[in-house]
Amino acid sequence: MNSNLLILGAGQYGHVAKEVAESMKVYDKISFLDDFSLVAVGKFEDYIKLTDEYTYAIVAIGKSKVRLEWLKKLYEAGYIVPTLIHDKSYVSPNAQIEKGTIIEPMAVVHTGCIINTGCIISAGAVVNHFSTLGEGCHIDCNGTVLGGKNVPNDTKVESGTVF
Please spell the DSSP secondary structure of 19-83, one letter per residue.
HHHHHHT--SEEEEE-TT-TT-SB-GGGGGGGTTT-SEEEE--S-HHHHHHHHHHHHHTT-B---
Q: What is the mean pLDDT of the chain?
A: 98
pLDDT one-digit tens code per residue, 39-87: 999 999 999 999 999 999 999 999 999 999 999 999 999 999 999 999 9
Is this structure's pTM higher than 0.85? Answer: yes
Q: How far is CA 127 from CA 29, 102, 112, 121, 141, in A?
A: 30, 13, 10, 8, 12
Mean pLDDT, range 88-108, rounded to an integer? 98
Distance CA 142, CA 132 (A): 17
Phi and psi at residue 48, in whole multiples of 5°? -70, -30
Give the pLDDT confidence score for residue 1 in this predicted structure.
Answer: 80
Tell me the pLDDT tens digit for each residue of 130-158.
999 999 999 999 999 999 999 999 999 99
